[in-house]
């Protein structure tokens, strides 16, 4: 058996990430099209970014509590985490939105930037805490 190739050199795993990324992008596009956009707040981007941070935090914590990163756990991490959550969320749209808001109202741009980053940390931490709590309530199985 040959030495294991790095994950990012394995076409099947890159394809898994791409499939999840396409699905996440589809949800993001739907959110951008249908969620309301109140004055001065790019709500759709905020919502998808917070949702993705929450899910990724829960997923990675839940998977790591179940065991080593291999087999189905690795596939789930790449498809749902790196792929779906990464495709659902976007830093580029967020950054450009901050610049466009800054050009109009300094406070709106600064407020949107700090709100997004701080709530993103809260969402990711809440996901981690939720997964930890589920693992505990599921009992310490052998």
Partner 1 sequence: MVAQRGGPTVTAVVVLLTVVAGGLGAGLRFVVDGALRARWAPSLPVATTVINTTGSFGLGLLVGLAQAHASPGTEAAQVVLGTGFLGGYTTFSTASVEVVALLREGRRGAAALHAATMLGGSVLAAAAGLAGGTALA
22 near partner 1, rule: CB under 8 A: yes
51 or 141: CB nearest partner 1 = 51
Q: Hunting for tokens 């929450």 — which residue is that?
A: 54
Alpha carbon distance 13, 16 (integer Å): 5
How buried is 31 (Cβ within 10 angstroms: 0-12 exposed, 13-18 middle, 19+ buried)? Answer: middle
113 near partner 1, rule: CB under 8 A: yes
Residue 27 neighbours by CB distance under 10 Å? 15
- CA dihedral (75, 78, 81, 87) in degrees, to 10, reads -130
108 or 125: CB nearest partner 1 = 125
38 or 142: CB nearest partner 1 = 38
Alpha carbon distance 48, 30 (integer Å): 10
In the set 43, 65, 99, 138, which binds partner 1 (CB under 8 A)?
99
**Which one of the spans 21-29, 69-77, 134-142 is the region binding partner 1 (CB under 8 A)?**
21-29
**Binding positions for partner 1, rule: CB under 8 A:** 6-9, 13-15, 17-22, 24-26, 28-29, 32-34, 42, 49, 52-53, 55-57, 60, 78, 81-83, 85-100, 102, 113, 116-117, 120-121, 123-125, 128
């Amino acid at each position: 058996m040959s030495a294991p190739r790095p994950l990012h050199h394995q076409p099947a795993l890159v394809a898994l990430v791409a499939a999840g990324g396409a699905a996440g992008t589809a949800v993001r596009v739907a959110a951008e099209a249908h969620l309301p956009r109140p004055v001065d707040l790019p709500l759709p981007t905020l919502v998808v970014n917070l949702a993705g941070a929450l899910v990724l935090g829960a997923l990675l914590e839940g998977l790591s509590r179940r065991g080593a990163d291999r087999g189905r756990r690795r596939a789930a991490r790449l498809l749902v985490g790196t792929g779906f959550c990464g495709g659902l969320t976007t830093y580029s749209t967020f950054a450009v939105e901050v610049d466009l808001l800054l050009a109009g109202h300094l406070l709106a741009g600064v407020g949107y930037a700090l709100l997004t980053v701080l709530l993103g940390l809260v969402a990711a931490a809440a996901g981690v805490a939720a997964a930890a709590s589920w693992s505990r309530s599921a009992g310490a199985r052998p």
